[in-house]
């Protein structure tokens, strides 16, 4: 099986917003966007990787969250998913939003113009790359031990990989909320239909799951 | 996490038929039922465990087939899923329908009143149990190394575990075909709503996926 570059469980609003402007430590999704507005569908499921209590739903949404780590050997993320700082690193103590047990359990490649040394938290190692999407894809695939590579976001990073024609499949969850302004993945999902098959699956949570793949 | 007893990817017709009467070697699904009528949705997906050629769809159906082995540590099946013979074993050469590389990759417990010695094909070991559903569930969970147990069918076996209140979740795929007579799982899926949450998800393949779970 060829190694795929996949977007999974990436949540946006009905108007295509994945994050707001002006990200800060207090507002990791930026202006206007509360994380739970976009992500509560995932947190409600039994399979949510960050779940600490038992229970959770077992419906359609759960099939998507359970698939999060399936056959994934590495993640690529943008610097703004990794943290809220911009420019040269002034706080090397910052090791991401996820505490001592990040939910990735694979190598993670953070794209940034300001590289810094790799570090490991539990079974996740973060590497910092100043590279094009194609170069990052190549390096992540080499580290993924034959498995697929997740492109984890944020929205600008997904767009860069999309524009470079590198993504093999996307699962985009459109939450039943309208934000009004921010960083958008698309104006309409139909924009991708020149390049991908597109299946739309409504869930009882109110989320619509959009699946894209190519031959 | 507690160990669950799960039905997955179990395919029936719109009138609830999972298999026909009079199973033979030539007709593993019995009278009236061609296997591909119920199962073609699964075989078309990229994630289908028995797939030998590259390609396949990556849409909703694929999420279900990819989940087939996820966190499964054992399978329980009825004797009529294992083979077409009835009564005492006259042909011990029969080792199931699946050839030298069965798609289970775990211990498999075959329920039968006629036990025979265990045997191993590749990484699948078949055990034969004369036991109640509850006893079989207990034994399979002990063998599953902390993972869940799949109840793999056939339709009579699923019914027995359902009637015994042992199933924690079910994923039933209703294919867009009517058979007319045979072994039925239900007259209507609403029959299970006194005991389970029920979510219905239509797929572009024409299959409707029914998901059942309880708190």
ipTM, interface predicted TM-score of the complex: 0.83
Least confident of A75-79, B34-38, B80-84: B34-38
CA–CA min distance B64, chain A (Å): 7
Does residue B215 have a pLDDT over 90?
A: no
This prediction's pTM = 0.90
Q: Is the pLDDT of residue B22 over 90?
A: no
Residue A1 confidence (pLDDT) above 80? no
A-chain CB neighbours of B2 within 8 Å are: 54
**Res. B2: pLDDT tops 80:** yes
Note whether B199 contacts A197, CB cutoff 8 Å.
Answer: no
Note whether B67 contacts A63, CB cutoff 8 Å.
yes
Q: Do the Cβ atoms of A201 and B203 come closer than 8 Å?
A: yes
Q: In the prediction, which pLDDT does B62 show?
A: 95
CATH number, domain with residue A191? 3.40.430.10
Mutate which of B8, B51, B58 to test chain A, going by most A C-beta atoms within 10 A? B58
The proportion of chain A whose per-residue pLDDT surpasses 90, expressed as a percent, equals 79
CB atoms within 10 A of CB B26: 6
Contact between B63 and A59 using a beta-carbon 8 Å cutoff:
no
Q: Residue A81 phi/psi, 5° resolution?
A: -80, -35
| Closest residue in A to B53 (Cα–Cα) | A1
Residue B103 has pLDDT above 80, yes or no: yes
Q: Do A54 and B1 touch (CB under 8 A)?
A: yes
Q: Nearest CA of chain B to the CA of A44: how many Å?
A: 13
**pLDDT classification of B102: cutoffs 50, 70, 90:** very high
Number of domains in chain B: 1
Contacts of B53 in chain A (CB under 8 A): none
Are β-strands B169-174 and B5-12 bridged in parallel, bridged antiparallel, or unpaired? parallel
DSSP characters for B98-151? Answer: STTS-S--SEEEEE-SS----EEETTEEEEEE---HHHHHHHHHHHTTTSEEEE
CB-CB contact of B19 with B180 (8 Å): no
DSSP characters over A42-102: HHTBTT-TT--SS--B-SHHHHHHHTTTTTEEEEEEEHHHH-S--SS-S-TT---SSTTS-
DSSP 8-class letter at B31: T
> So what's the pLDDT on residue A12?
96
Contact flag B54-A204 (C-beta cutoff 8 Å): no
Query: Does the pLDDT of residue A13 top 80, yes or no?
Result: yes
- Residue B127: pLDDT over 80: yes
Q: What is the C-alpha to C-alpha distance for residues B108 and B150, in angstroms, rounded to an integer? A: 9
* Residue A92 vs residue A142, higher pLDDT: A142
Measured between beta carbons, the chain B residues lying within 8 angstroms of A169 are 58
| A52: closest chain B residue by CA | B1
Percent helix, strand and coil across chain A, each to the nearest 5:
20, 30, 50
| pLDDT tens digit sequence for A32-63 | 888 888 999 999 999 988 787 888 999 999 99
Max CA separation in chain B (angstroms): 45
**Could you tell me the pLDDT band of residue B68, with boundaries at 50, 70 and 90?**
very high
pLDDT at residue B92, as a whole number: 82
| Residue A184 burial by Cβ neighbours in a 10 Å radius (0-12, 13-18, 19+) | middle
Nearest CA in chain A to B213: A58
CB A73 within 8 A of CB A91: no
Lowest mean pLDDT among A144-148, B12-16, B48-52, B156-160: B48-52
Contact B60 A203 (CB under 8 A): no
pLDDT of A24 reads 86
Q: Assess whether pLDDT exceeds 80 at residue A155.
A: yes
Do A57 and B209 make contact, defined as CB atoms within 8 angstroms?
Answer: no
The answer on pLDDT for B1 being more than 80 is no
Tell if the CB–CB gap between A66 and B70 is shorter than 8 Å: yes
Q: What is the mean pLDDT of residues B94-121?
A: 94
Interface size between A and B, measured as CB pairs under 8 A: 56
Cβ burial, residue A1 (10 Å; 0-12/13-18/19+): exposed
Overall average pLDDT of the A25-34 stretch = 85
Q: Which residues of B touch A210 (CB under 8 A)?
A: none
What is the structure's pLDDT at B16? Answer: 96
Instruction: Please tell me the distance in Å from B1's CA to the nearest CA on chain A.
Output: 7
Subunit contact A213:B64, Cβ cutoff 8 A: no
Distance from B51 to chain A by nearest Cα, in Å? 11
Domain range spanning residue B203? 5-213
- Interface contact B57-A203, CB threshold 8 A: no
| Shortest Cα distance, chain B CAs vs residue A21, angstroms | 32
Which of A9, A63, A168, A172 to probe the B interface (max B CBs under 10 A)? A63
At B203, is the pLDDT very low, low, confident or very high (cuts 50, 70, 90)? Answer: very high
Position B34 confidence tier, pLDDT thresholds 50, 70, 90: confident
Q: What is the mean pLDDT of residues B34-54?
A: 87
Q: With an 8 Å Cβ cutoff, are B201 and A2 in contact?
A: no
Name the percent of chain A lying above pLDDT 70.
100
The helix or strand, by DSSP H or E, that contains position A170, with its residue range, turns out to be: strand A169-174
Helix (H, G, I), strand (E, B) or coil at B170: strand
- pLDDT-based confidence at residue A183 (cuts at 50, 70, 90): very high
Over range B137-164, report the average pLDDT: 97
């Amino acid at each position: 099986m060829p190694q795929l570059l996949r977007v999974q469980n990436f949540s946006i609003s009905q108007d295509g917003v994945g994050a707001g402007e002006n990200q800060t430590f207090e507002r990791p999704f930026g202006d206007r966007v509360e994380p739970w507005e976009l992500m509560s569908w995932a947190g409600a499921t039994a399979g949510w990787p960050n779940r600490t209590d038992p229970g959770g739903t077992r419906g359609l949404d759960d099939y998507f969250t359970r698939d999060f780590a399936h056959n994934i050997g590495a993640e690529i993320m943008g610097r703004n998913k990794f943290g809220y700082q911009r420019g040269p690193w002034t706080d090397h103590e910052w090791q991401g939003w996820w505490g001592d047990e990040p939910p990735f359990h694979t190598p993670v490649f953070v794209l940034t113009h300001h590289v810094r040394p790799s570090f490991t938290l539990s079974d996740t190692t973060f590497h910092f790359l100043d590279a094009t999407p194609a170069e990052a894809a190549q390096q992540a695939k080499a580290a993924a031990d034959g498995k697929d590579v997740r492109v984890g976001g944020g929205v600008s990073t997904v767009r860069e990989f999309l524009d470079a024609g590198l993504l093999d499949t996307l699962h985009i969850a459109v939450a039943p909320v309208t934000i009004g302004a921010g960083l958008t993945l698309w104006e309409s999902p139909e924009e991708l239909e020149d390049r991908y098959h597109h299946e739309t699956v409504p869930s009882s949570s109110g989320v619509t799951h959009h699946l894209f793949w190519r031959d």
